[in-house]
């Protein structure tokens, strides 16, 4: 196979130049990291599950008119996406208190929030992705006021879609993170959902039992991460019952 040009290697994904200009191949790795990469492991099959699940959510979003970067899945570990300029923010949407919000404000995990809360973190691993306010975003030029309005609108549409899809399979969407990218269509620019949507970037609790089905299983040593992600995939019909995630393949 011809050697492809690697554009970027992140903690859970590697990006390669795509076959046509303006496209990128996203390769989902099995690496799991938490606490700003202080905790790390390789979880066999995680990349395959996240590739399939992200395809499922992004395709659904496309079908209801929420623009995103997904073009098509190429194989078990790779998908073709539209290249975009990533806005250096993690956009977090919360429906119930958990994680850093619970810690910061002393609210019990699982407490329903009176309305969805959107938070922004500045994407910088060296700084540990600090929480920032719209004031910082505008002042430092990471996004304009118009961009922020568009980001809120995208984030809330993703929230409604994901909450509904998850509710349909007995799962509560506690919170999630998205990333947003800028694309240019001629003279016009617009924002689209980018990166991935998977149990790595969501908190998902079983409605009946409260069992965690997301990356907290890894962060908090609660059992098998692949079992948790497989359960989500099975309920959504993304993975046939009993399917074993593929081992990593050598790609270069
Ligand atoms: N999140 C993420 N990547 C990050 C930080 C957070 O995907 O770098 C997700 C996380 O999985 C959770 C939500 O964003 O679904 C809110 O995370 P929180 O701020 O509570 O941070 P954490 O407790 O994970 O440190």
With a 6 Å cutoff on the Cβ, whether 95 touches ligand 1 is: no
pLDDT computed for residue 241 by the predictor: 60
Cα–Cα distances in Å, from 146 out to 138, 164, 191, 219? 10, 27, 10, 36
Residue 100 in contact with ligand 1 by CB distance below 6 A: yes
212 lines ligand 1 (CB under 6 A): no
Which pLDDT belongs to residue 244? Answer: 61
Convert the pLDDT of each residue in 71-128 to its tens digit.
Answer: 999 999 999 999 999 999 999 999 999 999 999 999 999 999 999 999 999 999 999 9
Q: What is the pLDDT of residues 41-54, one digit of tens each?
A: 999 999 999 999 99
Closest C-alpha to ligand 1, atom 3: 201
92 touches ligand 1 (CB under 6 Å): yes
Position 239 scores a pLDDT of 82
pLDDT of residue 130: 98
Q: Any idea which residue has 């623009």 for tokens?
A: 67
- In this predicted model, what pLDDT tens digit does every residue of 4-25 receive, in sequence order? 899 999 999 999 999 999 999 9
Compute the mean pLDDT over every residue in the chain, rounded to the nearest whole number: 95
Ligand 1 centroid vs 177 CA: distance in angstroms? 6
Res 44: pLDDT? 97
Residue of 50, 89, 99 best suited for mutating to test ligand 1, as the one with most atoms within 8 Å of CB: 99
Cα of 107 vs centre of ligand 1, distance in Å, is 16
Asked if residue 99 has its Cβ within 6 Å of ligand 1, the reply is yes
Alpha-carbon gap, residue 160 to 183, rounded angstroms: 24
pTM of the predicted model as reported, rounded to 2 decimal places: 0.95
- Our mutation pick for probing the ligand 1 site, out of 38, 93, 201, 217, counting the most ligand atoms within 8 A of Cβ, is 201
Q: How far apart are the first and last CA of the chain?
A: 7
109 Rama class: left (phi>0) / alpha (psi -120 to 50) / beta = beta
Structural domains in the chain plus CATH codes: 6-84+225-250 (3.30.200.20), 85-206 (3.30.470.20)
Quick one: average pLDDT of 141-162?
A: 98
What number is the average pLDDT over the span 164-186? 97
In this predicted structure, the answer to whether residue 172 has a pLDDT above a threshold of 60 is yes
Beta bridge partners of 72: 80
Beta bridge partners of 120: 91, 132
76: CA distance to ligand 1 center in Å?
25
| Predicted pLDDT of residue 252 | 45
Instruction: Say if CB 174 and CB 111 are below 8 A apart.
Output: no
With a 6 Å cutoff on the Cβ, whether 178 touches ligand 1 is no
- Rounded to 5 degrees, what are φ and ψ at 43? -110, 105
Indicate if the alpha-carbon torsion angle 168, 31, 226, 120 is positive or negative. negative
Mutate-to-test residue for ligand 1 from 54, 92, 124, 126, highest number of ligand atoms within 8 A of CB: 92
Whether the pLDDT of residue 240 is over 90: the answer is no
Q: Distance between CA atoms of 135 and 64, rounded to whole angstroms? A: 32
For a substitution probing ligand 1, which of 54, 100, 104, 126 has the most ligand atoms within 8 Å of its CB?
100
Per-residue model confidence as pLDDT tens digits over 189-223: 999 999 999 999 999 999 999 999 999 999 999 99
Which has the higher per-residue pLDDT, 243 or 110? 110
């Amino acid at each position: 196979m011809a050697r492809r040009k690697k554009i970027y290697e992140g903690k859970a994904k590697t990006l390669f130049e795509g076959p046509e200009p303006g496209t990128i191949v996203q390769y989902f790795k099995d690496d799991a990291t938490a606490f700003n990469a202080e905790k790390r492991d390789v979880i066999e099959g995680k990349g395959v599950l996240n590739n399939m699940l992200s395809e499922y959510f992004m395709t659904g979003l496309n079908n209801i008119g929420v623009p995103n970067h997904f073009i098509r899945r190429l194989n078990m570990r790779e998908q073709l996406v539209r290249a975009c300029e990533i806005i250096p923010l993690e956009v977090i949407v919360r429906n119930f208190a958990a994680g850093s919000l619970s810690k910061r404000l002393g609210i019990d995990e699982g407490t329903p929030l009176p309305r969805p809360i959107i938070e922004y973190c500045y994407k910088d691993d060296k700084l540990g992705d600090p929480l920032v306010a719209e004031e910082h975003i505008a002042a430092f030029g990471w996004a304009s006021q118009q961009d922020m309005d568009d980001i809120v609108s995208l984030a809330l549409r993703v929230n409604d879609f994901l909450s509904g899809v998850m509710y349909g399979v007995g799962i509560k969407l506690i919170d999630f993170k998205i990333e947003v990218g800028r694309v240019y269509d001629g003279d016009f620019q617009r924002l689209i959902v980018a990166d991935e949507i998977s149990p790595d970037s969501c908190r998902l609790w079983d409605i009946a039992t409260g069992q965690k089905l997301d990356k907290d299983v890894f962060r908090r040593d609660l059992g098998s991460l692949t079992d948790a992600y497989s359960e989500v995939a099975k309920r959504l019909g993304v993975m046939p019952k009993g399917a074993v995630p593929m081992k990593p393949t050598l790609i270069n």
